[in-house]
């Protein structure tokens, strides 16, 4: 080995060693920062005992903090997401990328094991709830919300879709009809709104304000004969300033913090607000009588001012008991077990059910509710 070669090799070794030291230093800094952060310390505090150390719980807690609380984690996730999206056109495991920068939730496209049985059991549960409420003089109306991937199928542009998901909407509607339950189909009004413009956000899995309004009007029209006083009036106003839409699919792809040129452009909207006519401030229903209508359902019912649009279309105050992430029956379970239903039962319950949840495996809490809704004799 010549002196020059040796010097070059030595310099390379020194450089590699220095880089290793720097990387180790950065790793140590990131780890210590994560462990000493409020969230990290909260996770560790209860496991700082000899028994937790010996059982491995402390090690598990440390691993959990290091996996989720590193200060550089958002930056690293964002960089990886931008690379994945721009090079491969991929949104990761939870999101599929269509054309026109349209994003879709993988849940809507994939098949589920035991889907046929799950849908049949859920249809049975809808019938049981309708009968139990009917015995108390309460009407139940069911509105099935079609998947974004169904209404915007043209924008899938090659994103894989299972045959099960393609048939799911019609299958569940037919199961309900076979049990004597005539659901409000929101597919026609949302498809019509899509043809006029758009019914769903591009970067979010939910309907946009136009889609929510179309759904609310369709529900109100189907309930014209419902026994409601319709003595309330509402008005909807839109903010003058345009703001970004919710973009939950951008967050799922970890692209929400990535610079604009490297990610899908966000949705924009003039945020809508619905209030009782003549209201000058305060709560929407302050000092008002109890609503005759209760709304149970999913995040669709708490997005894009659907609740407000429904009140305006029905000309009736609506108690919104829907919960984001409630799936098929999460909000129903909470509402019917709660004080509001016990103390002031409505005349009408509207149950908004997203198509994408009806074929998923049934949880134990759901099964208990399906078998016994628990609304009798309250």
> Catalytic: which of 147, 198, 204, 256?
204
Residues 66 and 109 in one domain: no
| Alpha-carbon torsion angle 287, 289, 292, 295, nearest 10 | 20
Helix runs in 197-281, H state only: 209-222, 248-252
Q: Is residue 154 part of a domain?
A: yes
Nearest to 348, CA basis, from 196, 190, 228: 228
45 confidence band (pLDDT: 50, 70, 90): low
Query: What DSSP string describes 171-191?
Result: HHHHHHHHTT---EE-HHHHH
Number of domains in the chain: 2
Which residue in the list 147, 165, 206, 298 is annotated as catalytic? Answer: 206
Structural tokens at position 377:
């004799």
- The answer to whether residue 377 sits within a structural domain is no
Alpha helix stretches (DSSP H) within 3-47? 3-36, 38-45
pLDDT cut 70: percent of the chain above it: 76
Q: What is the pTM of this model?
A: 0.81
Alpha-carbon 238 to chain mean position? 23
Q: For 64-103, how does the pLDDT look when each residue is reduced to its tens digit (9 = 90+)?
A: 544 445 444 555 666 778 888 998 899 999 999 999 999 9
Range of the domain at 241: 103-371
Same domain, 228 and 353: yes
Band (129; pLDDT cuts 50, 70, 90): very high
Whether residue 206 lies in the annotated active site:
yes
Q: Same domain, yes or no, for 26 and 121?
A: no
Residue 80 has a pLDDT of 74
Identify whether 77 is part of a domain: no
Give the active site residue among 198, 254, 298, 299: 299
């Amino acid at each position: 080995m010549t002196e020059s070669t040796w010097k070059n090799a030595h310099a390379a070794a020194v450089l590699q060693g220095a880089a290793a030291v720097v990387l180790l230093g950065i790793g140590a800094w990131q780890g210590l920062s994560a462990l000493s952060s409020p969230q990290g310390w909260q996770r560790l505090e209860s496991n700082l005992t000899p028994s937790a150390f010996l059982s491995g719980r402390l090690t598990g807690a440390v691993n959990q903090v290091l996996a989720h609380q590193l200060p550089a984690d958002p930056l690293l996730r964002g960089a990886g997401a931008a690379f994945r999206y721009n090079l491969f056109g991929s949104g990761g495991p939870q999101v599929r990328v269509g054309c026109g920068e349209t994003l879709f939730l993988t849940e809507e496209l994939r098949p589920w094991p035991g889907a046929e049985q799950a849908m049949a059991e859920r249809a049975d549960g809808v019938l049981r709830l309708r009968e139990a409420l009917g015995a108390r003089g309460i009407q139940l109306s069911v509105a099935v919300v079609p998947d974004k991937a169904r209404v915007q199928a043209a924008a899938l542009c090659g994103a894989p879709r299972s045959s099960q998901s393609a048939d799911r909407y019609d299958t569940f509607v037919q199961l309900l009809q076979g049990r004597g339950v005539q659901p409000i189909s929101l597919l026609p009004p949302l498809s019509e709104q899509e043809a006029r413009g758009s019914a769903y956000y591009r970067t979010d899995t939910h309907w946009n304000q136009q889609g929510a309004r179309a759904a609310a009007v369709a529900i109100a029209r189907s309930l014209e004969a419902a026994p409601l006083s319709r003595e309330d009036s509402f008005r909807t106003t839109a903010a003058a300033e345009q703001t970004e839409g919710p973009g939950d699919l951008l967050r799922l792809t970890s692209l929400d913090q990535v610079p604009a040129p490297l990610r899908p452009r966000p949705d924009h909207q003039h945020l809508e607000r619905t209030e009782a006519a003549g209201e000058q401030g305060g709560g929407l229903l302050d000092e008002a009588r109890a609503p005759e209508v209760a709304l149970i359902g999913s995040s669709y019912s708490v997005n894009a001012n659907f609740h407000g649009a429904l009140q305006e279309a029905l000309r009736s105050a609506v108690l919104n008991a829907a919960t984001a992430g409630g799936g098929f029956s999460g909000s129903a379970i909470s509402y019917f077990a709660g004080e509001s239903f016990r103390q002031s039962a409505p005349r009408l319950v509207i149950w908004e059910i997203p198509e994408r949840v009806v074929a998923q495996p049934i949880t134990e809490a759901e099964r208990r509710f399906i078998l016994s809704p628990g609304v009798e004799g309250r």
